[in-house]
């Protein structure tokens, strides 16, 4: 899709945001989008780093900084400038990043905010972001801290007193609670995972205390906030890059192994030597660094009770711990971004990177055909989906409320529901964004292609059955009684 030359594009107030789980290719997407916009439309783009680990100076391997060659002439900001011995706080990041955004606005350059530290993005973009909510300095856990944590109260109801906590219940009790929530607040039930114990109970407590469904209270507060502006300071186009855990986990393990081969051990040796004895804050609490403190920091091996082990064995233990922590981080990043965009009704497009990562794994194992198809998969499943959305975003006038919104924000609660795909083992998806992402995923399309080969084409059309009692659309293969159909 090409933008018509008659359409005027202005950078002022617009921000392209690329978030995602670690290892999903955020930097590459940002750089290729910037190149495409420059080459196709003459639009200048610059990248603002949104990864706390990459803010720290030095250690390019452990921080996974893009090399000058990988940046391909696209200017990057807020990379490699912070003291690795000190915590670089969310407030400090917000001040620095706002200065960069203002400079880009004056030069009519499109900012591309890119990284995995979603709480940095939240601090920079949120109109009503409260820095007092940040209970953990970002430097203490890069990619996992400072705002947006699992134990925070709901942002939309932060002025309400939180209900008393209750002990966890067994599975049967939780199922009963979820059914009760479906009866009194089906909209909230559609947003929540049935195993989200804390939220289910919180929303039931809200209803019992106020007599009003939580979804209605959220709606009222969103409407009230519109008189003060939207939840975002800028007009944003947000993407979240993700992949199936079955593919992402082995990719992350392989990436850690590659970092070791590139010289991460020597890099950590130098880092600990340069910064000793200040190795308790900043980058030293980060995944990829903290796992090796007992190896490289004097006296730490004795304190950890590992002085009788060789350095090689301790490094192997650190590598395994780093792999596990990285995989856990990817899952936390996914949960936090999903919570942020849903609670604040922020429009977000999920980009399924499963096919790209799988092809990379296959190519690394010696499959030449997989290597040759990587570029085709990248183009079809990533760039052909991202670029049209970006181009459409850039030709739109900024909405009065700033920022694209999810269906519930627009008052179309009836459009928000869960979706179940009977073709894919009954998997359930929360909201139209997750459903569309699944329908366009490689796994779903492969399954539909296989079914079409085994059956008549007419029998391989998805049909929808709406279950109003649980606010769910169930999609299955066509039958004679079907009256609403979708292609694959």
Listed ranges 118-132, 135-149, 229-243, 253-267; the one with the highest mean pLDDT: 253-267
**Least reliable range by pLDDT among 14-18, 43-47, 123-127, 227-231:** 227-231
The token pair that represents 89 in the structure block: 């706080």
In a 3-state reduction of DSSP, which class is residue 383? helix
Alpha-carbon span 173 to 169, nearest angstrom: 6
Q: How large is the average pLDDT for residues 215-219?
A: 78
Looking at residues 76-89, what average pLDDT do you find?
93
Residue 486 is predicted with a pLDDT of: 59
Q: Is 269 exposed, middle or buried (0-12, 13-18, 19+ CB in 10 A)?
A: middle
Q: How is the chain split among helix, strand and coil, in percent rounded to 5?
A: 50, 10, 35
Q: Is 488 exposed, middle or buried (0-12, 13-18, 19+ CB in 10 A)?
A: middle
If you average pLDDT over each of 240-244, 299-303, 454-458, 464-468, which comes out highest? Answer: 240-244
Distance CA 119, CA 358 (A): 28
Grouping H, G, I as helix, E, B as strand and the rest as coil, residue 175 is helix
| Residue in the block written with tokens 């694209």 | 404
CB neighbour burial string for 204-216, b if at least 16 within 10 angstroms, e if fewer: bbbbeeeeebbbb
pLDDT, residue 224, reads: 54
Round the average pLDDT of the chain to a whole number and report it.
78
What pLDDT is stored for residue 296 in this prediction? 84
Rounded Cα–Cα distance for residues 358 and 369 (Å): 13
Is a pLDDT exceeding 50 seen at residue 408?
no
- Reported as a pLDDT band with limits 50, 70 and 90, residue 428 is confident
The DSSP H or E segment spanning 420 is: strand 418-421
Band (pLDDT 50/70/90 cuts) for residue 259 is: very high
Kindly tell me if the per-residue pLDDT of 458 is higher than 80: no
Q: Over 90: is that where the pLDDT of 97 sits?
A: yes
Q: Which helix H or strand E contains 275, and what residues bound it? A: helix 264-275
Neighbour tally for 255: CB within 10 Å: 15
Pick the most confident of 71-80, 294-303, 309-318.
71-80
Convert the pLDDT of each residue in 269-289 to its tens digit: 999 988 887 777 899 988 999
pTM for this predicted structure: 0.64
Q: Could you tell me if 232 and 125 are in contact, meaning their C-beta atoms sit under 8 angstroms apart?
A: yes
Q: Which residues partner with 360 through β-bridges?
A: none
pLDDT over 60 (residue 484) = no
The predicted pLDDT at position 109 comes to 94
pLDDT band at residue 12 under the 50/70/90 scheme: low
The predicted structure's pLDDT at residue 357 = 93
Weakest-pLDDT range from 21-30, 203-212, 216-225, 448-457: 216-225
pLDDT digits (tens, 9 = 90+) for 176-210: 888 899 899 988 888 787 888 778 888 898 888 88
Inform me whether the pLDDT recorded for 459 exceeds 60: yes
Predicted pLDDT of residue 70: 94
Residue 398's pLDDT band (cuts 50, 70, 90): very low
The C-alpha atoms of residue 418 and residue 9 are separated, in whole angstroms, by: 36
Could you give phi then psi for residue 296, rounded to 5 degrees? -105, -15
All structural domains of the chain, each given as residue ranges with its CATH number in brackets, are 14-150+229-247+329-408 (3.40.50.300), 160-226 (1.10.20.140), 417-486 (no CATH)
pLDDT at 35: 96
Q: Tens of pLDDT along 157-184?
A: 332 233 333 444 456 677 888 889 989 9
Residue burial 104-117, b: 16+ Cβ < 10 Å; e: rest: bbeeebbbbbbbbb
């Amino acid at each position: 899709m090409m933008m018509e030359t008659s359409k005027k594009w202005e950078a002022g107030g617009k921000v392209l945001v690329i978030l995602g789980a670690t290892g999903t290719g955020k930097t590459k997407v940002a750089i290729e989008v910037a190149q495409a916009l420059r080459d196709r439309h003459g639009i200048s783009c610059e990248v603002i780093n949104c990864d706390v680990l990459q803010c720290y100076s030095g250690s390019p391997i452990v921080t996974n900084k893009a090399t000058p060659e990988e940046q391909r002439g696209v200017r990057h900001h807020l990379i490699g400038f912070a003291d690795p011995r000190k915590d670089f706080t969310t407030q400090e990041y917000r001040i620095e990043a706002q200065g960069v955004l203002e400079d880009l606005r004056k030069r009519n350059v499109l900012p591309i905010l890119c990284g995995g530290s979603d709480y940095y993005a939240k601090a920079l973009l949120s109109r009503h972001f409260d820095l007092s909510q940040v209970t953990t300095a970002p430097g203490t856990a890069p990619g996992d801290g400072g705002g947006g944590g699992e134990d925070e109260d709901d942002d939309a109801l932060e002025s309400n007193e939180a209900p008393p906590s209750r002990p966890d219940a067994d599975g049967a009790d939780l199922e009963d609670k979820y059914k009760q929530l479906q009866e009194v607040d089906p909209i909230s039930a559609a947003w929540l995972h049935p195993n989200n114990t804390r939220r289910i109970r919180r929303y039931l407590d809200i209803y019992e205390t106020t007599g009003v469904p939580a979804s209605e209270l959220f709606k009222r507060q969103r409407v009230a906030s519109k008189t003060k502006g939207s939840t975002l300071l800028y007009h944003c186009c947000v993407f979240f890059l993700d992949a199936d855990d079955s593919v992402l986990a082995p990719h992350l393990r392989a990436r850690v192994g590659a970092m070791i081969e590139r010289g991460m051990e020597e890099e950590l040796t130098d880092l600990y030597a340069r910064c000793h004895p200040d190795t308790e804050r900043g980058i030293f609490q980060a995944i990829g660094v903290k796992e090796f403190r007992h190896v490289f920091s004097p006296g730490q091996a004795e304190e950890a009770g590992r002085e009788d082990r060789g350095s090689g064995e301790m490094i192997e233990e650190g590598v395994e711990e780093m792999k596990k922590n990285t995989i856990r981080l990817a899952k936390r990043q996914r949960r936090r971004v999903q919570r942020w965009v849903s609670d604040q009704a922020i429009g977000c497009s999920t980009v399924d990177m499963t096919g790209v990562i799988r092809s990379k794994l296959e190519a690394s194992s010696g499959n030449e055909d997989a290597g040759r198809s990587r570029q085709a998969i990248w183009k079809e499943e990533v760039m052909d989906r991202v670029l049209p959305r970006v181009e459409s975003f850039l030709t739109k006038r900024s909405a009065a409320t700033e920022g694209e919104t999810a269906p519930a924000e627009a008052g179309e609660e009836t459009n928000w529901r869960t979706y179940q795909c009977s073709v894919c083992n009954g998997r359930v998806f929360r909201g139209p964004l997750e459903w569309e992402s699944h329908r366009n995923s490689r796994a779903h399309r492969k399954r539909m292609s296989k079914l079409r080969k085994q059956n008549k084409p007419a029998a391989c059309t998805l049909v929808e059955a709406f279950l109003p009692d649980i606010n769910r659309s169930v999609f299955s293969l066509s039958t004679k009684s079907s009256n609403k159909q979708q292609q694959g």
